[in-house]
A and B are shown apart, each in its own frame.
Chain A
Amino acid sequence: RLRTWDSRSQVHEPVDRNFRQAFSELDRLKDKLAVGDAVIEKAAYIYRKALEKGLVRGRSISALIASALYAACRDTETPRTLKDIGQASNIKRKDIARCYRLLLRELNLKMPVVDPIKCISRIASKAGLSEKTKRKATKILQTAEENKISAGKDPMGLAAAALYVACVTNGENKTQRDVAEAAGVTEVTIRNRYKGLKVALNL
């Protein structure tokens, strides 16, 4: 894999040394994050564009690939959080976020807004929740989005709150702490989102 770029690497010297380092790092992240080839190819494409625009100068290659990978995840609606990428790459969440915003600005990229419904599966599997609860949480978020309570809120917090409500109504014994931990948010955030959900859904 990634042979296409490796072969170019032997032609153009300084630029391609950068590519090699970048793509070996990308390959490493691929396994850690378990993302598909399509996402990796998109990340490579974005990174190449960034390199062509000279955005790599004076910047950390690792931080830029990690950001390009996050951008690729966002573009393909692959639910991976900045926290996920940060843990896999050992780069601070804040630095990845800053590089990601730079990529959006400089490459004029438009990303779809993160859909909290797509966050449900990851949280549910981490917390070990049933299929039935996942379906209920999805329904809850669908109604919630129609009532526009999601604006400005962290999609993971919204998904976590919906799952917690779904657990309660389904009688699945999970605490707020369990769901919060799986989602990477605090119990306070789940409670706050729950308040809005209660109003929007007449719970």
Chain B
Amino acid sequence: MPQTKPIVSVENVVASASVDQKMDLNEITRTFPDVEYHPDQFPGLVFRLKSPKTATLIFTSGKMVCTGSKSEEMARKAVKTVVQKLRKGGIKVKKDAVVEIQNIVASINLGGKIHLEQAARTLPRSMYEPEQFPGLIHRMLDPKTVILLFSSGKLVCTGAKKEPDVYRSVNNLHALLEEKDLMIYD
């Protein structure tokens, strides 16, 4: 019954990973001159890949955080590539990394405008402060995500750990907006 089909695009995936062994970040810095490592500023070493275009933070514990992927699969591939490069560079990594998706950010176009100030009054758990930010911030309980709504009809969904949760969030909200008559289609 929604009047339009939302166009969803995953923009960023954050994944945590672990190779379950201590890592010598100074050794990595020596063999990979392009990495950024400033221990007094931040304990993680930044390892950037051109493809997939990602940034992976590596900690002495062997735990990692990979950001910038456009999909869950790309994030897993990026972590594998990082471990592969470390091994090629002579860094001993015994096990393969165990990857967990932590957050998915998606942009959405609903295909119609949203009546924001009315939505601010009728949507529960929402905040609309145009002096601070042009979007309305809505906290969805199930799936537990946060959606930013803009008057243009575009959205940003974040907090999801699975791609299906992004779609469920968007569909829930879209139905809610139509139900409460907050959509404006031309």
Contact = CB atoms under 8 A, between A and B. Distances in A.
| Size class of the A contact interface (CB-based, 8 Å) | 10 to 19
A153 B134 contact: yes
A104 interface: yes
A22 interface: no
A105 interface: yes
A97 B129 CA distance: 10
Interface in A139-190: 148, 150-156
A156 B131 contact: yes
Interface in B22-69: none
Contacts of A151: 115-117, 130, 134, 151
B116 A152 contact: yes
A82 B131 contact: yes
Nearest to A152: B134
Contacts of A148: 115, 151
A114 B127 CA distance: 12
A155 B130 contact: yes
Nearest to B139: A105
Contacts of B130: 113-114, 150-155
Nearest to A115: B117
A152 B135 contact: yes
A92 interface: no
A105 B127 contact: yes
A104 B127 contact: yes
Interface centre among B128, B132, B135 (most CB of A within 10 A): B132
A153 to B, nearest CB: 6
B41 to A, nearest CB: 21
A81 B130 CA distance: 12
Contacts of B134: 151-153
A113 B118 CA distance: 10
B120 interface: yes
Contacts of A101: 127, 129, 132
B185 to A, nearest CB: 14
Interface in B107-164: 115-117, 120-121, 127-132, 134-135, 150-151
7 contacts: A97-B129, A101-B132, A113-B117, A113-B128, A151-B116, A152-B151, A153-B134
Interface of A: 81-82, 97, 101, 104-105, 113-114, 148, 150-156
Rank and list the top 7 A-B pairs by shortest CB-CB distance, nearest first: A152-B134, A151-B151, A151-B116, A113-B117, A152-B151, A154-B131, A97-B132
